[in-house]
Amino acid sequence: MKQTKKAITCLMGVVLITMFAAITASAATALTGQLVLRPLTPGDVTNYKLPSTIENSAGINTIGVGTPAYLEAEVNIAIAPSNIVSVTWALTNTPVSSQATFTPSPLGTNVPVYDPADRLVYQVAGRTLFRPDVVGQYTVVATIVTSGSGSTNVTQTITAGTYMGLNTCALCHSGGQIAENMVTPWQKTLHAQIFTSGINGGPGTTGTSCLKCHTVGYDTNTNAVNGGFDDVATQLGWTFPTVLAPTNWAYMQATYPSLANLANIQCENCHGPGSQHAYALGDTNLITRTVKSGDCNQCHDAPTHHIYGTQWLTSAHAGAQSTAATIPSGPSRWMCVGCHTAEGFIDRVENYGSTNAYTTNTVYASIGCQTCHEPHGLTTPTNNPHQIRMLASVTMPDGTVVTNAGEGALCLQCHHVRNGSAAIQLANYPIGSNTWFGGSSMGVHDGPQGDLIEGVNAFTYGQTIPSAPHASVVTNLCVGCHMQPAPYGDPAYLQAGGHTWEMTYNVVTTNGTTLVTNSYDKVDVCVQCHGQISSFNFPVADYNGDGVIEGVQTEVQHLLDKLSTLLPNSTYQANSNNYVADGLVKSSITFRTNWPSKFLKAGYNWQMVSSDGSLGLHNVAFAVGIIKASIADLTGDSNNDGLPDAWQIQYFGSANSPAAAPNATPAGDGVPNWMKYLLGLNPLVPGISVTNGLSLGVVWADGSSLNNPYGTNNTVQIYTAAEVTFNTTTTNNYQIQAASSLSMGWTNIGGLIQGSGDAVSYVTPTRKDVQQFYRVLVY
């Protein structure tokens, strides 16, 4: 029996240990590994103080023989670095004659993960350098071992090739039945002319330092013998012309045609060497097509002057500011990727207006260079500046067609209310019907800048809400302000304007041993119309009616706060009648399907202005108008002056008439409008001032009430008094108290009143008092 009992005990111990291990494993941080070829840009070389001889890389997996692949194994950033045990590297497939091996990576620990969005979710687990030595495919496997998060194998396939030049690419990519015509539109781009123009004395290539970006496969490393421009130039004995003259390009074409075939920025600069792709009759597995930024930034991240990529790296489009950038992607989010990922947006634009406008490719890639710009150029329309993918008129969610946005038309493709028309939302959301193709939602779903600046798709309550002129006077709309220049030497350099799309920047100064950071608004573009302002938050008008003219953004924020206090909280109420304003200022709003429509409309308008992000600057008149209209719908007081609009309109014709102001005394009797409203009196009928030697004060009375019906002298005396009323219960006693100043003590008025369950009305004289305050104590 004892042996049996012991065996059972041991078995139980095994079970418990196994269960504990399972629980521990389930709670561990996911490893989430990946293996990438890290791009290396001129900006990286400068920022991380790398050797000037280090070679740049596009980070693509089709590379020239002998050129570097900066391999990087990455894991979940939530894993403690001390828990990354090891990364080992192996080649599981190589061309037959290859002798290539791994060598230590030249990238130090100060060099971060490349992609800004990836930096928020990944960290470097290990790095190595690999140079393919012969053409063909190589399979690299990295084994990542961690403590607490398990281990994994991650794989990359690298295709090594040699450069063929434009003539080979054009055999298939100039139209016809084999492949899409990419060459013809490319020939009209600046990329196709950058070398030609420069050596002919125009803008572009002005010296040998430009060649690594302005020609194909230029890499002077002795390992990199792969048919690139430098290799062919050496073979032919060509040297860069000492005089940049208009005949240089024609001479080069005639004398060195095989070298001219590798000049300018062409297909293989971005797709990698094409030999294997060409010899395999167009096998797409042997060439790279990517929308990732490293492909462009191998040249365009090169401060101080080639900075489009450098600017982009700091932008929200790059995902540099929030992990939210990567959330709306994945297999279940096909309806989101049309704006939130590069591939999704490209598919949507290329299929604009068709039923195939939304892609099934839901893999995340940042909104980068190729998202907005077509690298090959555009066949139609042929006049799009900067190879912008789409500049057609834009149909906004409510059906408004915008035709005057210029280059900003591309921005409006995503920067609009993405839950559809406001009117359709109001009709369909409460019953659960679709408000947009992705489902049923209420609100603007971030980014409603286009609707706000155009002054459309909000609830206007039947009013004509004016719009500011930004939409019609700013050239290229969004681009005109957000991409204003900030060249080298400007304090906003690389922080605002251009491809940062930011409108503010920081300046760091030293106060003794302390670094002080101050934020500034990039107002250069604003002063052209608004004069010498130094901040976006400049005073314009007292929009919120508090008697103080503050900065325009402050005024709009006050209005937003006021409106938010008039909305319910997010707690669900089964009975829709139970939704009431909670009086609290809110920073976000959660809609409920059974909210009364007045709250749905006001909450939507609040979201439009709040989510726009400019605090009304995009269209101050419209922003202020829809907020005030919402406040008026909920309170009857659109100008927020404490008096109902209906009462002011009844007597003065307009709620905004100076005579209708709360402190105005249009009857000339010294009694302000606010008091007459509270007393239920006509503000245009004067009262009678009665003093009779007593302390000065005003008593309002209709003059006819003092007429003596008997025709004798009037002996009526009107004295001042206060009526204090309150409800009582039978279980409490009550004491009325008064004070002539809140800073002094309280004095009992009358005796203790026993509650009867009914309301009490107590009148006390005030004829000797300049002012008096009252309160009721409950015992």
Give helix 552-565 / helix 620-635 axis angle, nearest 10°: 30
Per the CB < 8 A criterion, the answer to whether 364 and 343 are in contact is: no
CB 594: neighbour CB atoms within 10 A? 15
The full DSSP string for 502-533 is -SEEEEEEEETTEEEEEEEE--TTTHHHH-S-
- CA–CA separation, 116 and 95 (whole Å): 34
Q: What is the pTM of this model?
A: 0.82
Q: Which of 116-120, 137-141, 233-237 has the lowest mean pLDDT?
A: 116-120
Average pLDDT over residues 69-97: 97
The helix or strand, by DSSP H or E, that contains position 428, with its residue range, turns out to be helix 422-428
Pull the structure tokens for residue 176: 């016809």
119 confidence band (pLDDT: 50, 70, 90): very high
> Cα(79)–Cα(24) distance, rounded to whole angstroms?
15
Please tell me the CATH code under which domain 34-161 is placed: 2.60.40.10
Quick one: average pLDDT of 216-244? 97
Closest by Cα among 356, 340, 542 to 348: 356
d(CA 331, CA 775) in angstroms, rounded, equals: 65
Q: Dump pLDDT digits (tens) for 409-440.
A: 999 999 999 999 999 999 999 999 999 988 99
Higher pLDDT, 18 or 671: 671
DSSP letters spanning 638-704: TT-SSS-HHHHHHHHS-TT-GGGSTT--TTSSS--HHHHHHHT--TTS------TTSS-------GG
- Give the tens place of pLDDT for each residue, 264-316: 999 999 999 999 999 999 999 999 999 999 999 999 999 998 999 999 999 99
How far is the C-alpha of 483 from the C-alpha of 308, rounded, in Å? 11
Cα 754 to Cα 745: distance, rounded to the nearest angstrom: 24
Tens-digit pLDDT profile for residues 756-770: 888 888 888 887 777
306 vs 85, 206, 271, 320, 386, CA distance in Å? 40, 14, 21, 20, 15
How much is the pLDDT for 483? 98
C-alpha span between 623 and 337 (Å, rounded): 29
Does the pLDDT at position 15 exceed 80? no
Closest CA to 486 of 304, 322, 339: 304
In Å, how far are 299, 317, 366, 418, 438 from 332, measured between CA atoms?
A: 36, 22, 18, 17, 11
Whether the pLDDT of residue 53 is over 80: the answer is yes
- Backbone Cα Rg of the chain: 37
Cβ burial of 181 (10 Å; 0-12, 13-18, 19+) is middle
Q: Tell me: pLDDT of 745 over 90.
A: no
Q: Domain ranges in the chain?
A: 1-26, 34-161, 166-272, 311-468, 485-524, 721-778
Torsion on CA atoms 719, 722, 728, 731, rounded to nearest 10: -90
* Structure tokens that stand for 678 in this block: 């509270």
For residue 349, what pLDDT is reported? 87
Q: In this predicted structure, what is the pLDDT of residue 27?
A: 59
Average pLDDT over residues 139-168: 98
| 380 has pLDDT over 60 | yes
| CA dist., res. 240 & res. 230, Å (int) | 11
Residue 95 tokens read as 């061309």
DSSP string spanning 351-403? TTTSTT-S-S------S-HHHHB-TT--SSSTT-GGGBS--S-EE-TTSPEE-
Which parts of 36-95 fold into alpha helices (H)? Answer: 42-47
Q: Average pLDDT, whole number, for the chain?
A: 89
Query: In angstroms, rounded to a whole number, what is the distance separating the alpha carbons of residues 453 and 468?
Result: 8
51 burial via Cβ count (<10 Å: 0-12, 13-18, 19+):
exposed
Give the pLDDT mean for 732-753.
Answer: 85
Of the two residues 632 and 638, the one the predictor is more confident about is 632
- HEC per residue, 136-200: EEEEEEEEEEECCCCEEEEEEEEEEECCCCHHHHHHHHCCCCCCCCCHHHHCCCCHHHHHHHHHC
Tens-digit pLDDT profile for residues 356-368: 667 778 888 999 9
Q: What is the pLDDT of residues 494-524, one digit of tens each?
A: 999 999 999 999 999 988 889 999 999 999 9
- List Cα–Cα distances, 391 to 394, 402, 466, 483, in angstroms: 8, 11, 27, 16
pLDDT of residue 638: 75
Measured CA to CA, the distance from residue 374 to residue 363 in angstroms comes to: 20
pLDDT at 525 over 90: yes
Alpha-carbon distance values, 100 to 58, 66, 125 (Å):
21, 9, 23
- Max Cα–Cα distance, the chain, nearest Å: 130
Residue 514 — φ and ψ, nearest 5°? -105, 135
